[in-house]
């Protein structure tokens, strides 16, 4: 099969670090399904993957974890999906199911979890294998291209929204307005939340307004009111200062990224006192995914996408790094 393969770390650009190569297709186990990939979303985590920012990443590796395609083949013990059925795969590839985290329902914290495009080959390829227990039936009403961003940007945005402490009718601040934020805002507006968006890009600001943001500005600007919860989508540690500055007493600032630059020293009395909370959002559970996909169909969510051919993956990652993707970027693997 054809795949974009990471063989050495480096900054994304026209010539690398991913290489288009012919590689052996995956061999499935008894509980796996083989997906003929239609398209794969391009996530900010992929940037950290190709740059070597993440620990314990062995090479070569095929990135990608917002995968949509058709079941090509199922293992002998895999009975959830029929051949030809449309399915999706997300960030979580597998969890052990027996550790203290899995037993209490927090499989996202499993110490033996594996992740697609990180410890397992992902969707920047014509075929991909996943355990059937970690694949998802996709709702009708979404094209493959529209569905792809739901599978990480949507899921992690939804989990971050729930962990930000904002309640229906509350006030939410979003720092950065990429693929995940443009989905999270739609859920928040369904909850009748006031939403303030902090972003530099004029294109991103325009999209935020179209999706219901009451106010948009820069991270250093003062919004019309304090926020009950804030979500930081950009991997910039200093944004915690800006989020805490506009956070009301008892509110939560949640970081939705897998990697973040160093957080500068905090002024405890001014920024953190009055029971404000700083927290990370780590991965997501299958329950999060199922809930988000259900919400997506009911609202219904609408994703804004820009599509590119598989062989343009390096250029797309460079655009993403430069903040030049409005909404979500998606790689088309199969016409």
Q: What is the mean pLDDT of residues 316-325?
A: 96
State the pLDDT confidence band at 279, using cuts at 50, 70 and 90. very high
Q: What are phi and psi of 68, to 5 degrees?
A: -125, 135
Q: Which of 7-16, 83-92, 115-124 has the lowest mean pLDDT?
A: 7-16
Mean pLDDT of the chain: 97
Give the DSSP letter string of 116-133.
Answer: BTTTB--SSBSEEEEEGG
What length is written for the chain?
Answer: 335
- What are the structural domains of the chain? 2-151+283-332 (3.90.180.10), 155-280 (3.40.50.720)
Distance CA 130, CA 80 (A): 13
Structure tokens given for 165: 């402490």
Q: Is the pLDDT of residue 231 over 80?
A: yes
Helix residue ranges per DSSP H, 191-235: 202-210
What pLDDT is attached to residue 14? 84
List pLDDT tens digits, range 10-44.
Answer: 999 888 999 999 999 999 999 999 999 999 999 99
Is the pTM higher than 0.85?
Answer: yes
Residue 266 confidence class, pLDDT cut points 50, 70, 90: very high
pLDDT of residue 270: 97
Is the confidence at residue 45, as pLDDT, over 80? Answer: yes
- Percent of the chain predicted with pLDDT > 70: 100
Q: CB pairs under 8 A, 24+ apart, for 312-316?
A: 313/4, 313/18, 313/42, 313/63, 313/124, 314/4, 314/12, 314/13, 314/14, 314/15, 314/16, 314/17, 314/18, 315/12, 315/13, 315/14, 316/42
Q: Residue 307 pLDDT more than 90?
A: yes
Checking if the pLDDT of 174 tops 90, the result is yes
Check residue 335 and give its pLDDT. Answer: 67
| Predicted local confidence at residue 15, as pLDDT | 85
Query: What is the pLDDT at residue 334?
Result: 79
Q: How many helices (H) and strands (E) does the chain have?
A: 9, 17
Predicted confidence band at 331 (pLDDT cuts at 50, 70, 90)? very high
């Amino acid at each position: 099969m054809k795949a974009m393969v990471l063989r050495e770390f480096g900054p994304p650009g026209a010539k690398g670090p991913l290489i288009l190569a012919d590689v052996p297709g995956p061999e499935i186990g008894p509980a796996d399904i083989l997906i003929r990939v239609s398209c794969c979303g391009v996530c900010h985590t992929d940037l950290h993957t190709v740059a070597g920012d993440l620990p314990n990443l062995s090479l070569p590796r095929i990135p990608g974890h917002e995968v949509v395609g058709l079941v090509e083949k199922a293992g002998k013990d895999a009975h959830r999906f029929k051949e030809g059925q449309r399915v999706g795969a997300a960030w979580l590839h597998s969890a052990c199911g027996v550790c203290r985290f899995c037993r209490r329902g927090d499989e996202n914290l499993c110490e033996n979890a594996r992740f697609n495009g990180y410890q397992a080959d992902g969707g920047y390829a014509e075929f991909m294998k996943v355990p059937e227990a970690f694949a998802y039936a996709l709702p009708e009403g979404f094209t493959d291209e529209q569905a792809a961003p739901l599978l990480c940007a949507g899921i992690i945005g939804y989990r971050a929204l729930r962990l930000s402490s904002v309640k229906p009718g509350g006030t939410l601040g979003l720092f950065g307005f990429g693929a995940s934020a443009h989905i999270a805002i739609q859920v928040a507006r369904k909850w009748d939340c006031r939403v303030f968006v902090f972003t530099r890009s004029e294109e991103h600001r325009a999209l935020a307004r179209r999706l219901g943001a009451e106010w948009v500005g820069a991270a250093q600007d003062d919004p019309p009111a304090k926020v009950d919860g804030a979500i930081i989508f950009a991997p910039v540690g200093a944004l915690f200062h800006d989020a805490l500055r506009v956070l009301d007493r008892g509110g939560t600032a949640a970081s939705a990224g897998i990697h973040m630059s160093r957080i500068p020293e905090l002024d405890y009395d001014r920024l953190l006192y009055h029971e404000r909370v700083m927290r990370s959002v780590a991965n997501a559970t299958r329950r999060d995914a199922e809930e988000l996909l259900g919400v997506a169909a009911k609202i219904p969510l609408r994703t804004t996408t820009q599509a590119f051919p598989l062989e343009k993956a390096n250029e797309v990652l460079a655009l993403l790094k430069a903040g030049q993707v409005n909404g979500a970027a998606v790689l088309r693997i199969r016409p």
